[in-house]
Amino acid sequence: MEYTDILFLFLFLPVSLLLYYICRERLRKYVLIALSVLFYACGSFSHLALVLISVGINILLGRAMDVQRERTLLKKGILGIGVLYNVSILLYYKYTDFLLLTVGRLTGADVVLKNLILPMGLSFLTFRAISYLADIYHGGISTRGNMASAALYLLFFPQIQSGPLARYGDMQTDGGTPGFRKTEGFSEGCYRFITGFNKKILLANTLSNITSETFAAGARMSMAYAWLGAVCYSLQLYFDFSGYSDMAIGVSMMLGYRCPENFRYPYMTESVSQFWRRWHITLGAWFRDYVYIPLGGSRAKKRSRCCMNLFVVWALTGLWHGASWNFLFWGLGYFLAIWFEKLTGWPERFRSKAGKHLYRVAALLFINFQWVIFRAEGLRAGLRYVRSMLYCAADPLADARALFLLKDYLAFILAAIMLCFPIVPWLEKRLARWRASRAAWEVAVVLANGFLLVWAVSFVVAGRNNPFAYANF
pLDDT at 63 over 60: yes
pLDDT for res 395: 77
Using CA atoms in the order 112, 321, 310, 99, what is the torsion angle rounded to 10 degrees? 0
Q: What is the pLDDT of residue 173?
A: 40
Query: What per-residue confidence (pLDDT) applies to 179?
Result: 44
The mean-pLDDT minimum among 89-103, 371-385, 433-447 falls in: 433-447
Is pLDDT larger for residue 212 or for residue 69? Answer: 212
Ramachandran sector of residue 300 (left: φ over 0; alpha: ψ -120 to 50; beta: rest): beta
Query: What is the number of H-type helices and E-type strands within the chain?
Result: 21, 0
Q: Which has the higher per-residue pLDDT, 393 or 212? A: 212
Angle formed by the axes of helices 303-321 and 325-344, nearest 10°: 150
| Res 225 pLDDT > 80 | yes
Sequence ranges of the domains in the chain: 6-180, 187-271+346-461
Report pLDDT digits (tens) over 425-438. 888 888 777 777 77
**Which of 47, 138, 280, 321 is labelled catalytic?**
321
Q: What percent of the chain has pLDDT over 70?
A: 95
pLDDT at residue 473 tops 70: no
Tell me the pLDDT tens digit for each residue of 154-196: 999 999 888 799 988 776 543 344 444 444 578 889 999 999 9
pLDDT score for 178: 42
Per-residue burial over 451-461, b if 16 or more Cβ lie within 10 Å, else e, is ebbeebbeebe
Angle between helices 325-344 and 353-375 (to 10 degrees): 170
Task: Give pLDDT, residue 108.
Answer: 80
Number of other residues whose CB lies within 10 A of the CB of residue 57: 15
Q: What is the mean pLDDT of the chain?
A: 89
Highest mean pLDDT among 9-13, 163-167, 444-448: 9-13
Higher pLDDT, 146 or 260: 260
Q: Is the pLDDT of residue 122 over 80?
A: yes
206-233 average pLDDT score: 91
343 residue type, one letter: L
At 302, is the pLDDT very low, low, confident or very high (cuts 50, 70, 90)? confident
Question: What is Dmax (Cα atoms) for the chain?
Answer: 74
**What is the dihedral sign for C-alpha 435, 437, 438, 444?**
positive
Surface-to-core class of residue 102, CB atoms within 10 Å of its CB (0-12 exposed, 13-18 middle, 19+ buried): middle
Is 255 within 8 Å of 19 (Cβ atoms)? Answer: no
Measure the CA–CA gap between 180 and 167, rounded to whole angstroms.
11
pLDDT over 90 (residue 323): no
Q: What is the arithmetic mean of pLDDT over 463-473?
A: 70
As a whole number of angstroms, the distance between CA 468 and CA 473 comes to 10
- From the CA atom positions of the chain, what is the Rg in Å? 23
Which residues are CB-contacts of 49 (< 8 A; sequence separation ≥ 6)?
none
Cα distances from 426 to residues 27, 198, 293, 419, in angstroms, run 42, 20, 36, 12
321 is catalytic: yes
Q: Distance between CA atoms of 169 and 301, rounded to whole angstroms?
A: 31
> 300-330 in b/e burial notation, b at 16+ Cβ within 10 A?
eeeeeebeebbeebbeebbbbbbbbbbbbbb
